[in-house]
Structure 1
């Protein structure tokens, strides 16, 4: 069951990634922007972790633990933030509508279910918390790139910004507000990572 479940996750992510990349190129949009979205990067992490679990469901080790926890927390945040803050900002049609749902709803839910409900479950040691370097690095990259490269992202059909998500737009919100948001997000990642790590080390209830 574990192989089948994660194989399906990997297949869905691969289809959505290839399809959305093709649409992005065809529309003449920036591929650098596309692959700079936290959503896309978290889905790529899930894809890699899922493929490795298909090959060996009982996979462990420090490197995989970091990847597993990093992909799990990142895709959870992706789903929660999109559902609560970003859904409805953009309008999608045709295949893009389906890819949007895969990236933001289907993959996050399936990934969490796969971790919580299926066995064998990856045991996450303290070293797995190095995965927190990923969201911190992404935040730094996003904010620095906005200042030095002046990229253009479509936040809604009528508004743009140099960052992929409006809550990180320093020009609109100011450094103090964005810094506060970054601190809250970092704290959320830490709490979620610790939560998942503890779940991974819990023993199944005896029957």
Structure 2
């Protein structure tokens, strides 16, 4: 945690270096521009390997890291950043949020865990929030049906989109799962 006197009036510390790690190039570009407009000095990486190399070369004060990257897990990036710089403030972004990975992210040193789609304002608020502040509850939380659908999609992806294996792991009939997968996501 950084000292209170190093925080400027914008909420960013004296060292405004920010590493953004995401394999979605358009999202990464938009987020980089938005964070530069908010006063950060932004560097980007599109893989775990590239991000870890940048973290070891010079760990940033702030980081926004996608959980799932093409070549591995974003938690490895958070661990590498915290190894090089204990006071770094890292936020994990994911479209596959669950309690186990959130707990792991926090244990590895992440200060927040946001689900996609997260906008630049949410990310900025998470990065600059002081230790005592709590995040506001979401205005439009996911419905129970949407949470169920997200869980099924996450398991389906973990099973490499194998319907039979996913149905077995979820303890449901294969045809039932196929019908669920064929429908649109609930709101």
TM-score computed with the length of structure 1 as normaliser: 0.26
Q: Which has a greater percent of helix?
A: 1
TM-score computed with the length of structure 2 as normaliser: 0.28
Q: Which has a greater percent of strand?
A: 2
